[in-house]
Amino acid sequence: MADGAKTVPPRSEVPAQYKWNAESVFANRDAWRQELGAINTALPQLTPYQGTLSQGASRLADWFELSQGLARRVGKLFFYARMSQACDTGDQEAIGMTGQAGGLFSRFAAATSFEAPELLALGEATLKSWVSSETRLAHYAQYFNDLFRQQQHVRSPEVEEVLALVREPFSQVDNTEEMMTSTDLQFKPVTSSNGAVIPLAQSNIGTFMDSPDRPARQQAWENYADGYLSLKQTLTSNYLASVKRDIFYARARRYPSALEASLFQNNIPRAVFDNLIATYRKNIPTWHQYWAIRRKALGVETLNPYDIWAPISQKPPVVSYEQSVEWICAAMKPLGADYVTALRRGCLEERWVDVYPNQGKSQGAFSYGTYDTHPFIMMSYDDNLSAMSTLTHELGHSMHSYLSRKTQPFIYGDYSLFVAEVASNFHQAMTRAHVFGVNAGPQFQIAMIEEAMQNLHRYFFIMPTLASFELEVHQRVEAGKAVTAGDLIDLMVDLFAEGYGSEMRIDRQRVGITWAQFGHLYSNFYVYQYATGISAAHYLSDRILDGDAEAAQNYVRFLSSGSSVYPVDALKLAGVDMTHPEAVETTFAILAGYVSKLGELTSA
């Protein structure tokens, strides 16, 4: 097994060059605390504006300058605390800072909650005239258009204030999930084939799953699932609190369902969600074919879930962090020199990435930052193609953030979850295409296909399955039905069994607890967007890889658009229409090609 599985060092032993550049955000934690106090002191400046936004265009422009300036500062403060906690969930000071920042965020939201109702009371015609007459409001046209689109779901100032205030207690649901799964949850260690007893943690479970040591893989998978099963009642209670939170917000804003609330927020037609699920289910036999090829290639009589990530290649390549950066940069050359320069500088000079595992580090990986910081990445790099895949995925998010913030004003400097997963999976598709050309050897090609299939398995198998799970759970709760831990396990395992087919042995309890291993489910209807994102990504990358220079330019335009246009329209700028199933079908065709090629290589 890789050395990363044998030891998980304390954070203090990780070299500084592989830690995120925290000092570029705040010089130290004392500086953070000073800013916390300064923002608390500044919050009362918002109060005099309540009830006065109708006084004229200049007054409204002053309000935006004040409120958005504070929003940027609050966001930066919260990010620093949250990133510090994620990199070391045992850091009690960081945990306390996150709580303080969360409370500040809630107070800021409450203090600004009167904005939308007052703007709506002004009327669309008045605001349009002010946009024309006051230069400081000129770039708010899309913001106002979207506000009036959502008018029917904006409540009175009093109700809006309450909805803002409940954010803080409701956010404890998410924090509880992380504390349970990243700090309190303990797993039995794993004994490798050579007799070594190895601790199992969130930061090294992926390394075990990638290992050729089948008994160790089995132990790791079982011990990991058993850890979650030991807390199944508590995890169920917490998750159902999250579901009820989604439903509360939907009903408070008068949406017909939590799904409709999520879709409406970003102006996404229901057909996008329904097309995904229908197209996925139609193409499930492609996954059945893959499981059959994988079982034969591994030489096992029965495939088990812990064999999904097992290496088929006899010599999986070792890929250092620095090598990954070079390959990723080379793959992105079609997007232009400016793009590549920013990418390389971020990885090797500006320390955007918190690279290696350490004790207490949160599971998974993410890209996160604010309008006034670098787009930072938290991950646990492990010197293999899977780690390279994760790095390029998160760098896709980071470059999306970098270009949006560089190009757009603060009001449009973010982007929706729906388009976020396009940029990340596009990076993976482009990098994969480049690295395929680095080495034509069969074992290397097999390893690359395995990397592709791991990514597709996560985003084009697990995520659509979780989306179906999420829809069913929300519908049951919305209908007033009882939902228990056993219900969640049964629903999850039945959905996975449909995708696994006859090739996979099903351990019902351990497969069924999979839902608890994905904190993504705590964001209302987030998971389906991984599958739509990977679909759009492959559709667009194919065009660029075919040498379409205009497609590359249009893609960079898309990344630079931020939230200045609606997500589906932003993707149309790039060249793909997600209201039709074509992109999903295209990606299944690419998946089928990988499966076929793997069959050929492993048979040979």
Q: Report the alpha-carbon distance of residue 99 to residue 90 in Å, rounded.
A: 14
Q: Report the alpha-carbon distance of residue 283 to residue 288 in Å, rounded.
A: 9
Q: Report the alpha-carbon distance of residue 146 to residue 143 in Å, rounded.
A: 5
Q: Report the alpha-carbon distance of residue 575 to residue 536 in Å, rounded.
A: 9
Q: Report the alpha-carbon distance of residue 370 to residue 57 in Å, rounded.
A: 28
Structure tokens at 61: 């422009």
Q: Report the alpha-carbon distance of residue 134 to residue 126 in Å, rounded.
A: 12
Question: What SS3 class is residue 362?
Answer: coil
- Spatial strand order in the sheet of 366-368: 353-354, 376-378, 366-368
What is the widest separation between alpha-carbon atoms in the chain?
Answer: 77
Q: Report the alpha-carbon distance of residue 253 to residue 91 in Å, rounded.
A: 37
Question: What SS3 class is residue 500?
Answer: helix
> Active-site residues: which are they?
394
What is the DSSP code string of 204-242? THHHHHT-S-HHHHHHHHHHHHHHHHTTHHHHHHHHHHH
Decide the pairing of beta strands 353-354 and 376-378.
parallel
Q: Report the alpha-carbon distance of residue 484 to residue 240 in Å, rounded.
A: 9
- Half-sphere exposure for 541 (CA within 13 Å, toward CB): 26
